[in-house]
Amino acid sequence: MQKKLIALAVAGLVSGGAFAQSNVTISGGIFMGYDSNKTSGGTATAGFGTVNRVTDHSSNLNINGSEDLGGGMKAVFQIDTRFGLDSVGGTWAGGNSHVGLSGNWGRVVAGKQDLHYNELAGGLGAMRVRSLQSLLGHGIMSEVNGVAITPRTRSNNVVMYNSPNMSGFTVQLAGSTAPFAAAEGGQAADGSKGSAWNLTAKYANGPINAGYSYWQNNEEGGNGATAAVAASDQRSNRIWARYTLPMGLALGLGWDSSKYDNDVTANTNWVKRNAWQATGQYTMGANAFYLQYAKAGKTSGAGAADDGSGAKAWMLGYDYALSKRTNVGISYTEVKNDSTNGTYDFFATPTATVGVGNKSAQWHLGMSHSF
C-alpha cells in the first residue's frame, strides 16, 4: 500500500521552508529468507558443497514523483533503491530509476532500467515470497551456457518510451548507449561504437497475459574490442503466454532463442541456444502453489563444446498470505547441467559455484512484506 506524502512535508524535509511542487509517494517491498544451497556432481569449483545463509532477495524502496505541467503533461521521476537487510550496504537509486515526461501519448524517461531478461518472470508469474535463485526466467532462460544475455540487472544509460495502455495492449521501446557500462566510453578512433535496444509488446487483459521481447546489443568499441564475451554482440527473442482459469489455476509457456558473438576478431562466430519454460500456479484463498520447469537445449556454433551443453531446471513452491501485504513461503529449486559441457547456474548466485556438469539445488524459507 502506497503512503502519500504531503508536498509541504517533503519540502520541509529537504529544504526546511520551500514549497514542493511534486506529488510524491513511497512504496516498496522486503524479501528475506533462509537459504540452503548445495552444489554437487561434475567438476568441483569454489563453493562446492553446502552453504547456508540468511539472504535479502532484492528488497527495495521506491520514491515516485510527478508534477502537473498543464495540458495533460507531467514531469515524472522514480528513485528505486535496493538495500540488503542481511548485511551492511545497499545502492542508492540502484534499481529502476529515471526522470522524464508523460502525457496522453505515453511516457519518455531516461535513466537505468530492467530490460528483456525480466519479462518471463513478469509474464509467466513468480512467487510472492521470492528467492532470486528460484526465478527460472532470470536464470537459465536468460543465458547461453553461462553467458548472460543482457546485463541481467538494470541496463545503464537508457532512454525508454512506454505507450499508453490500449485495451490491454502496450509497447515499450528502449535504447542504451552502453548498457553494461557505468558510463559511455570515451571517443576512440572507432567513434566509440556500441549500443543496445529493446522492443517489447505486451497484452494483459482479463485472464490473458502474453507478450514478445527482442534484445540487441552491439559491443562497446565495436565487434571484437575485448576478449570478454559477457558484453559482446547479442541477439535474443522471447515470447510468452499465460492463461488464468476461473478455478484459480494459471498455466503459462515461454520460449527464448538467444545468441552471442564468441569471436574476438572482426569475424562473427555466433553461439546460439533455444530454451523453453512451463509454469503452473494454483491459488486457493490465502494459499498459492507453484510449479515451474525450464529446459535449455545444447548450443550451436561453439564447436566441440556444443556436445552436452544443455541444462534443465525446476522449482516447486508454496506461500501463504498472512495479510494483503505479508506472506510466508517455502520453495525448492534445482538446476542440472548436462555432463559434458553444461555450465548453467541459478540467477544471482552470490559466489561462483558451477563447473561442468554440476547440479545446483536450493531450499528457501522466506517472508515478504510490501508497503
88-97, 105-114, 263-272: segment of lowest average pLDDT: 263-272
Residue pLDDT, tens place only, 153-178: 999 999 999 999 999 999 999 999 98
Does pLDDT of 20 surpass 50?
no
Q: Is residue 6 part of a domain?
A: no
Of 45, 25, 20, 213, nearest in space to 114 by CA: 213
Does pLDDT of 6 surpass 60?
no
CA 218 from centroid of its chain's CA atoms: 20
Sequence-distant (6+) residues with CB within 8 A of 353 are 37, 39, 45, 46, 47, 48, 345, 360
Q: What percent of the chain has pLDDT over 70?
A: 86
Using CA atoms, how far apart are residues 269 and 171, in angstroms rounded to an integer? 32
Using CA atoms, how far apart are residues 209 and 241, in angstroms rounded to an integer? 6
Task: Give the SS3 label for residue 194.
Answer: coil
Does pLDDT of 292 surpass 90?
yes
pTM of the model: 0.89
Question: What's residue 231's pLDDT?
Answer: 83
Residue whose cell numbers read 555466433: 270
Question: What's residue 27's pLDDT?
Answer: 97
Using CA atoms, how far apart are residues 297 and 344, in angstroms rounded to an integer? 11
Q: Is residue 311 part of a domain?
A: yes
Q: What percent of the chain has pLDDT over 90?
A: 74
Does pLDDT of 55 surpass 70?
yes
Q: Is residue 21 part of a domain?
A: no
Q: Is residue 11 part of a domain?
A: no
How crowded is the C-beta side of 90, counted as CA atoms within 13 Å? 17
CATH code, 107:
2.40.160.10
Q: Is residue 8 part of a domain?
A: no
Please give the tally of structural domains in the chain: 1
Q: Is residue 4 part of a domain?
A: no
Which carries the bigger pLDDT value, residue 221 or residue 259? 259
| Residue numbers of the domain that contains 310 | 28-59+69-79+86-370
How crowded is the C-beta side of 52, counted as CA atoms within 13 Å? 2
- Percentages helix, strand, coil for the chain, rounded to the nearest 5? 5, 55, 40
Mean pLDDT of 243-257: 97
